[in-house]
Amino acid sequence: MTATAGSRPEVPKPEIRRFEVRSEDRLDRAVSIAVPSLSRTQARHWVEEGRVRVDGAPVTKASTLVVAGQIVEIESPAAPAIDTRASEVPLAVLYEDEHTLILNKQPGLVVHPAEGLDEVTLIEAVAARYPEVREIDDSDRGGIVHRLDRDTSGVIALAKSAEAQFVLKEQFRLRETTKAYLALVEGRPDPAEGIIDAPLGPDPAAPYRRAVVEHGQSAKSQYRVLEQYGDEAALLEVRIFTGRTHQIRVHLAAVGHPVLGDTLYGHASAIIPRQALHAWRLGVTLASNGAWREFVAPPPDDLRAAVRELRVRHPVRPAPEIGAIA
């Protein structure tokens, strides 16, 4: 299920939630713990908006300390609907321990909240099931250590503790992780394998896009063709050594082989309704025990169907690495 604005349930009437403080804490933290669907940032906004009372008196300072025995009242008109929607988003768990969560993200799901976004995000869905992620920091992005685009599916790591968030973020920062993607692209890449080492930055003609620019951030991607479907398309394995915004999509478009279905950097596709890009493998060192693990995310149905259709049009011997995916 992909949660969208169209699936939002009817907003309930205002509700007053009451809870008793169990131990001394900041008011915004106490509220976010009592209402797991809220991030610390959202809880702070509720306090500042005057939605919260302590022992019957309104309090608008989020850092106010509350102590055991005090009664907090929260006017939360939208919280039940948000909580219901977040709880309904399926999470495909590949691995979890006390510190780390590895998921296979479905396409169409945004990773974290953004201004003006009216849909449930991955981190909200995670927080609905693992409220401890709300304790990691003061932002609404607690637990996030890297990102996938909305319409990119596949393996993503999240932290369940502050310790894990630091450890995992450092690995990504120091480029100690391994990241491999599957991508269906237009045309016949020549050569069949290669390295694209080209800096990326905002597109001068359209800043919401990225482009290869002379003085951009360094970006390096390595690709190889796994299956070639005539001159129509190819299935690639792409490994990235940096993690720039839209890196694979921009690099492949720059060499003349945009990702199928990528309407921002290429063209719409009749065989898949979104960019045909899937985070296939992710290797990280676990925060819990220091062990190196590589996680593999099975591709979703739409990518499998696209591969099947291309194999029918252009019979090929399935690549041994992915022979069973379709």
| Whole-number pLDDT of residue 149 | 93
End residue of a domain, out of 63, 83, 103: 83
Task: CATH number of the domain at 71, please.
Answer: 3.10.290.10
Per-residue model confidence (pLDDT) at position 139: 59
Tell me the range of 19-23, 39-43, 256-260 where mean pLDDT is highest.
256-260
For 29, the enclosing helix (H) or strand (E) is: helix 27-34
Q: Which of 232, 214, 4, 36 is nearest to 129 (CA)?
A: 36
Asked whether residue 79 is domain-assigned, the answer is yes
* pLDDT score for 14: 60
More confident site: 84 or 186: 186
- Per-residue pLDDT at 83: 55
Total domains present in the chain: 2
100 and 65 belong to one structural domain: no
Closest CA to 156 of 100, 94, 102: 102
The per-residue pLDDT for range 164-181, each reduced to its tens digit, is 999 999 999 999 999 999
Residue 130 lies in a domain: no
pLDDT in the model for residue 85: 80
163 has a pLDDT exceeding 80: yes
pLDDT at 39: 65
Does the pLDDT value for residue 80 go beyond 70? no
Which domain covers residue 175, as residue numbers?
92-111+147-313
Six-digit token string for 219: 């970006």
Same domain, yes or no, for 175 and 73? no
- As a whole number of angstroms, the distance between CA 282 and CA 297 comes to 9
* pLDDT for the residue 42: 74
What's the pLDDT score for residue 9? 44
Question: Is the distance from CB of 223 to CB of 318 less than 8 angstroms?
Answer: no
- Residues 79, 97, single domain; the answer is no
Write down the pLDDT at residue 40.
Answer: 72
* Per-residue pLDDT band at 190 (split at 50, 70, 90): very high
41 within some domain: yes
Q: State the average pLDDT for the chain.
A: 88
Q: Which two tokens stand for residue 170?
A: 């450092």
Q: Considering the domain boundaries, does residue 269 fall inside one?
A: yes
- Contact yes or no for 201/225 (Cβ under 8 A): no
Residue 7: inside a domain:
no
Residues 22 and 105 in one domain: no
Strands (E), 86-219: 93-96, 100-105, 153-159, 178-186, 193-197, 200-203, 206-212
Q: 191 with 65, same domain? A: no
Whether the CB-CB separation of 191 and 171 falls below 8 Å is answered with no
Q: Is the peptide bond before 9 cis (omega within 30 degrees of 0)?
A: no
Are residues 170 and 231 located together in one domain of the fold? yes
Q: How confident is the model at residue 37 (pLDDT cuts 50, 70, 90)?
A: low
**pLDDT above 90: residue 3:** no
- Residue 200 contacts residue 191 (beta carbons within 8 Å): no
Residues 166 and 75 in one domain: no
Give the pairing type, strands 277-285 and 153-159.
parallel
**171 lies in the same domain as 79:** no
DSSP 192-204: SEEEEE--EEEET
Residues 69 and 168 in one domain: no
Q: Is residue 116 predicted with pLDDT exceeding 70?
A: no
Judged against a pLDDT cut of 60, whether residue 203 lies above it is answered with yes
**137 in any annotated domain:** no
Average pLDDT over every residue of 153-160: 96
Active site residue 151: no
Select which of 149, 151, 262, 302 is catalytic. Answer: 149
Q: Residues 220, 100: one domain?
A: yes
Q: What is the pLDDT of residue 326?
A: 58
For residue 222, what is the domain's CATH number?
A: 3.30.2350.10
Looking at residue 2, what is its pLDDT?
43
| Whether residues 155 and 264 fall in one domain | yes
Give the model's pLDDT for residue 322. Answer: 80
Domain end, chosen from 46, 66, 83, is at 83
- pLDDT attached to residue 33: 81
Q: What is the pLDDT of residues 238-267, one digit of tens each?
A: 999 999 999 999 999 999 999 999 999 999
Amino acid at 232: E
Does any domain span residue 129?
A: no
d(CA 191, CA 169): 34
Q: Are residues 103 and 44 in the same domain?
A: no
Cα–Cα distance list, 223 to 179, 180, 236, 254, 317 (Å): 12, 9, 6, 13, 19
Is residue 270 included in any domain, yes or no? yes
